[in-house]
Structure 1
Amino acid sequence: MYKRLLIVSLMAVAISFLLVTPIFAAEYGGIITNLAPDKASYPNPGETITITCQGRFTNAQGHGKTLDDSQIVYTITDGGGNVVGTHTATLDPLEVGDSFTDTWVTTNTNFPTEGSYTITAKWYDGTNHNPGHLITSSSTSFTSIPSPWIIVVIAGITMTIAAFARKRRWWLSYYLVGSVSVVALLMSFFVLTGYDSYIMSIEAQSMAYVASILGMSSQYLAPNAFLFPDPAGWSIFGIGLECSSIIEISVFVALLLFYPSYSWKTKLKYATIGVVATYLANIIRILSIVAIVAVFGKTSVYLAHAIIGKLIFFVLIVILYWYLLTKPTMNTVRKNIKSGKF
């Protein structure tokens, strides 16, 4: 009798537990609507990768209306499944129906091998432990070729050719090849030491500051990006190696270094002016892109970045080269002709 009563009681408890448990064990509901890097391929060493994750909180599953301290855990894996990058972001409180946008900015110097990489974003509720129960996840891929060693090889080869050209007094070849070698050497230095990321960060902060001064609501996103408004909401501008003016500054310094008509004092003076002017020209270029996208929206990115921005930068650089290199050369040639040296 007592055994039967005990068995019935245990069965009742078990059934009650099975009926009640799903209510409390049910997890939050949500979807990741978008997970994407700012472009599919990153061929340049030190290039900035801006990863955007967007999602929507769809169901509280009896836990209450608000989801607090949920986290997005990002991982980047190579073709062999090895983790080469991780990042965790804690989201602001969400109510059912709310959407979120989170960004992670990194550089491809973390991926030292050419190939395809996979970004995975996992959204955890963060309620019971860190990071919590998995709500949902999403993955996407991109390609990266970040190794700077090819630039080091180019620097070594061109420096050898330049030395040979100088010994044979092939001055034009010495000037051109020597300039290329210095550009490759400077690029290798910036990428291998990580100073390229430092400069990109400074430019992103400068842009956010300048845009704010001009009345545009803008926010710096560490390490190399900034946020600004557009007609549909917000846009993110990530500054990579090709946008940082490092290449253009390296070219100008290299040409000036091998310029035969200037003393070292003049070269130092003009190099300082050229570096500052090139940096400011690039700020103007980026500002023009931001202004166009802010007015006309994301559909104008290609026009703003690939055409108008580059055209503005090209005109400013031509003016700089005219005043610091071309015009002084023409004056020197004119004086030599008048004095009968030619």
Structure 2
Amino acid sequence: MSQTSASSHPDPFASMLGVSPVFLEAVHQARKLGGVSSTVLLTGETGVGKERFAQAIHAMREAQAAPFIAINCGALTASLVESELFGYEKGAFSGADARGKPGKIGLARGGTLFLDEIGELPLDMQVKLLRVLEERAYYPVGGTRIAKADCRFIAATNRDLQSLLDQGLFREDLYYRLSAITLDIPPLRLRQADIGPLALSFVQEFGERYGRPVAPLGEPILAALSSYDWPGNVRELRNAAERLVVFAENGEALSADLPPRLRNCAISAHYESECANLTLPSEGTLPEWLARVERNYISLALELFQGNKQAAARRLGISRVSLYNKLGSSASEN
């Protein structure tokens, strides 16, 4: 593999937005891996950006033209994993390409092989992968000549390998071989300070891609984004930003353009803001105060759903008839 000094490379982490301490620490640790060829295990929830970290670690060490080959171990059937990893010789099995086919290890020669979802690898393939990691050599399927594994291995998983090991679903020897150098990528819910900047960056990216520039996101949307726990992490935030751009009108994204699961956060964020500033009014009675608050929430729901009374009523937990009655009462009071 290339021994080009990492210092001669542009910083591959520069495009990764983040100022939260947990993210900066992950980047700091990842930088240390750029100068070595050790096998690395990246852990973290779905959507946190494990492959992007793997690409950055690869770019810190390898020449610009060095290949970065990714394979999703969970997307292949057990019968295909071996030929995908090792390749095969011509006539190796029925239906095989008559010319043979190189495997992902061969294609990654001089670069990096990224083994995503390593926890899904079948047990029999775990044995063979361990042998490759230790001996740096393998046999293509149907082959008799040994091939060199001249690449760096970076594995990733969103599963608890220790738990899989305890269940007998992951080999102990492979686990310890992979986990010697482990880097955990933090979930987005622990990166509160990064949510807003990431969302703005994604909105700008999709606005440029689709030729539909969108004004900076307003406070209600940013508050909703910050109130959500992001089970899908950065990937889910990116998808939400794309939706905002696609449905924006006249260059403005509205809370109503958020995915349904995030609209509730928009209203909840408003509730929390109101409660935080709650003081006892100097005049009036409790029924009057409650009626005023009710009117405010109805107005907010109608604004959130762009005047759609059925959607607003559903969110408020009342019937459309009740909403019309309340709107009528509000009009008569005014």
TM-score, normalised with respect to structure 1: 0.23
Report the structure, 1 or 2, having the larger strand content.
1
TM-score, normalised with respect to structure 2: 0.23
* Bigger relative contact order (CA 8 A; separation at least 6): 2
Specify the structure having the higher radius of gyration (Cα). 1
